[in-house]
Structure 1
Amino acid sequence: MAPGEPGADPGLRRLRVALTAFFALDGLLFAGWVVRIPAIKHQTGASASDLGLALLGVSAGGVATMTLTGGLCRRFGGRRVTVASAVLLSLGIALPPLTRSALALGLVLLVFGAAYGAINVAMNSVAVDLIATLRRPVMPAFHAAFSLGGMVGAGLGGLVAGELSPTRHLLLLAACGLLVTALAARPLLAYDLVAGGPGADGGGRAPADAVDRTAGSGGARPRRTGALVAVLGLVALCTAYGEGALADWSALHLTEDLDAGAGLAAAGYSVFAFAMTVGRLSGTWVLRRAGEQRVLVVGGAMAAIGMLVGSLAPSVWVALAGFVVTGLGLANIFPIAIGRAGALAGPGGVATASTLGYGGMLLGPVAIGFLAEWFSLSVALTTVALLAGAAAVIAYVTRDAI
């Protein structure tokens, strides 16, 4: 890399590494929680619908916080909000195994969900600023770190499922989260993306070129921008629904529908997260060659086919293969949607698209719970394929606009 290029700045490189660490931590903590859901479900004595209601705590906390986080990022800076949210998320993950009822579980998941919602909007806002500075499409790499963290968290969860209680496991993850936050906070806060150099003010506003794209007031352009951001948020919602559903219900699907053991059941989310990681690590290369629009359409179609296989499979191994195809298909759709929304409307665009997108991730498990109660878990999971296909259709129909 040439000395004059933005990526050659050591402070900027350290900021990118630190931001990557926060994305990975987010995935690690979220996966650590979801692989212990079967044990916590048993501990609380919750039915499928009771668990779905309890998981609504994550959804409610997350969606409510996401609607506010764009404003918090503009006022305090996305980097400061990222650090504060990481602390709350690390503390929040230790709470679910301390509960003994579905109601108590739902209440503590409000805290976890609030932190999860805030950190995801804040991290993505900082990532959009960084992409504008680097002038390179590196958003998939950050989401690859999230997926890698999820894969590691799910894998470790499967390994320790028979050795550690949920309480000890999640307490260890909480300590790990606080340690990573302490180490990554300083380089994240030390570089001011607005000024293009060192600064300890913690600012996280969008660079001038990003802000200029949404300049102006009134008229058709702001309305058109708002409509495009909403469409991108809808695409993100359709695909994030599947990620949330697989995170919370894949283990139960493999154990209850296909008689898998606890360790093998944990592999369900692990192989899905691995496929997501592979897809996102290659995302920048794929985007440069295939283009964003083709990745959106083909990825949605792949995910739809893979999830039909995964949800209706007659054996564990066929289901796992379906999860892999689903992960590869979904891998880059969400990063593309959030990145485009941020480029169009800055932190507000990220907040709007993220609220819709992560709302799908958080509300999906709740919907799956009720559908599983009314029909079956296998049938409920086919809705993931339905929405992934819808995302592909939306992306194709609006190809000239977004």
Structure 2
Amino acid sequence: MRSAEPVTAPPATAVPRTVLAARTGVAVVFALNGLAVASWFSRVPAVREALGLSAGRLGLLLLAMSAGAVLALSTAGLVTQRLGAARTVALSTVLVAVGLTGVGVAAGVAGSLPGVAVGLFALGYGSGTCDVAMNVEGAAVEKRLGRTIMPRFHAAWSLGSVAGAAIGAGAARAGVPIGAHLAVLAAVVLGGTLLAARAFLPAQASTDTSATRRGGLLAAWREPRTLLIGLLVLIMAFAEGSANDWLAVAFVDGYGTSEAVGAVVFGVFVTGMTIGRTAGTVALDRWGRVPVLFATILLAAFGATVAVLAGSGPVAVAGVALWGLGASLGFPVGMSAAADEEDRAPARVSVIAVVGYTAFLAGPPLLGLLGDRVGTLHALLLVPVLLLPTLALVPVTRPPAGGGGRTTPVQSS
């Protein structure tokens, strides 16, 4: 018997500086992407007011961003393989900045519904492409570090979201024009991302042909485990995205809060997400993916139910915090599971992202139309209704036999 050969990186003290720098760069990119997206979500009530939209029409408008993201995700894996993660992140963030600025100008200056829709499409397209590239880079860094770290990258995204929500609440309270607010944030996001992406791992030389890359992507679409993980990520993305899109509006409509308070409630949700993703790495390394996901999904379902049915503002906000805490790990754990085998990671992450982001495509109009019938707040009860059956999918996130794990050596004979 030969000695066990670990499939992971050396201990932290031996990790090259390039890997540590890449870890920091990936975390910064995640945080700035969260800042960009949350900046938009925090001003949704103001945009609705500026354009005079009903819940149903707002849901259709939000569909523009989701459509851009889903369209981008269908090719983002191939783009990342061809250009490398760093270049893909840089180019896609240019589009994010253009879209965010366009949304602000169209809503706050021109009052143009089509202009906002175009800006949201660009924002979604850039964000969707960036999402795959930064997750692929994050998985590569995680493998070289030899321990679970992907949830902390997503925690960085949530921290960026908290900052975006806080800035948005302050801007709404101070009456800062939507156009000025979003244009300044777009410039910050773009400049910071371009600098952070320079620290990514060196691009690996590849002799794969375009046909080989396309074949790998098509093969990933035929893998049952990949598709089931994608379905799990879809429901978890819906649980997260429904709060992103509708939580501020739901509290304004259902609990009679101000727009600024609605933005604060959204900040409570992303704070819960951040805490869950920061602490979740310890829980995942200690107990494994399956029991941790079971517990957090149940917590999310309970929290969302309390947030809607509490009848009391403070109790509802406590439910929002539990909702965010419980919804925190599904998406990053799904991405880690997709990247268990690094050579197939771009194709599988792309497939799972496409499936998962279908929630962002279908969710806004579905909840908007439901909100027209039962009210925006009560429409959010769809979240726990979908989460509970999702527990049956959790076992598919177990690492495949033969070396999916990040920290456990594989015995070889």
Question: Normalising by structure 2, what TM-score?
Answer: 0.86
Q: Is the 8 A contact 1:14 1:187 kept in 2?
A: yes
Picking from 27, 31, 37, the partner of 1:24 is 31
CA deviation map 1:101-146 (0-9, x unaligned):
4333222211111011111011101111222222221111100000
- Aligned: 1:270 with 2:267: yes
C-alpha separation in 1, matches of 2:46 and 2:11: 53
- Aligned: 1:170 with 2:175: no
CA deviation map 1:324-358 (0-9, x unaligned):
11111111111111110122431010001111223
Q: Is the 8 A contact 1:295 1:333 kept in 2?
A: no
C-alpha separation in 2, matches of 1:346 and 1:6: 26
**Structure showing greater relative contact order (alpha-carbon pairs closer than 8 Å, 6 or more residues apart):** 2
- Aligned: 1:59 with 2:71: no
Residue 140 (structure 2) aligns with? 129
Which amino acid in 2 is paired with 1:385? P
C-alpha separation in 2, matches of 1:42 and 1:290: 47
CA deviation map 1:188-246 (0-9, x unaligned):
2xx31648xxxxxxx8x9xxxxxxxxx9999xxx6897110111111111011121111
C-alpha separation in 2, matches of 1:232 and 1:389: 16
Match of 1:282, SS state, is: helix
Which amino acid in 2 is paired with 1:374? R
CA deviation map 1:80-107 (0-9, x unaligned):
1011112211221111122224333222
Q: Is the 8 A contact 1:240 1:358 kept in 2?
A: yes
C-alpha separation in 2, matches of 1:245 and 1:102: 22
Residue 157 (structure 2) aligns with? 146
Which one is further off, 383-392 or 29-38? 383-392
What percent identity do the matched residue pairs reach? 32
- Aligned: 1:105 with 2:104: no
Which amino acid in 1 is paired with 2:353? S
Q: Is the 8 A contact 2:270 2:324 kept in 1?
A: yes
Picking from 289, 298, 314, the partner of 2:295 is 298
- Seen in structure 2, the aligned counterparts of structure 1 residues 216 and 378 have a Cα distance that, compared at 3 Å, is closer
Picking from 64, 85, 89, the partner of 1:82 is 89
Match of 2:173, SS state, is: coil
C-alpha separation in 2, matches of 1:148 and 1:287: 20
What is the correspondence of 1:87-98 to structure 2 with a 5 Å cutoff? 87-98=94-105
Q: CA deviation at 1:365?
A: 2.2
Which one is further off, 141-150 or 222-231? 222-231
CA RMSD, 1 decimal: 2.5
Q: CA deviation at 1:309?
A: 0.8
Residue 380 (structure 2) aligns with? 381
Count residues in correspondence. Answer: 379
C-alpha separation in 1, matches of 2:381 and 2:119: 29
Residue 212 (structure 1) aligns with? none
Which one is further off, 101-110 or 15-24? 101-110
Q: Is the 8 A contact 1:81 1:118 kept in 2?
A: yes
CA deviation map 1:1-37 (0-9, x unaligned):
x997586311211111111100000111111100101
Match of 1:113, SS state, is: helix
Match of 2:381, SS state, is: helix
Q: Is the 8 A contact 1:6 1:133 kept in 2?
A: no
Question: Normalising by structure 1, what TM-score?
Answer: 0.88
Residue 350 (structure 1) aligns with? 349
Q: Is the 8 A contact 1:133 1:193 kept in 2?
A: no
Residue 200 (structure 1) aligns with? none
Q: Is the 8 A contact 1:243 1:361 kept in 2?
A: no
Residue 202 (structure 2) aligns with? 192
- Aligned: 1:333 with 2:340: no
- Seen in structure 2, the aligned counterparts of structure 1 residues 3 and 66 have a Cα distance that, compared at 3 Å, is closer
Which one is further off, 109-118 or 336-345? 336-345
Q: Is the 8 A contact 1:53 1:106 kept in 2?
A: no
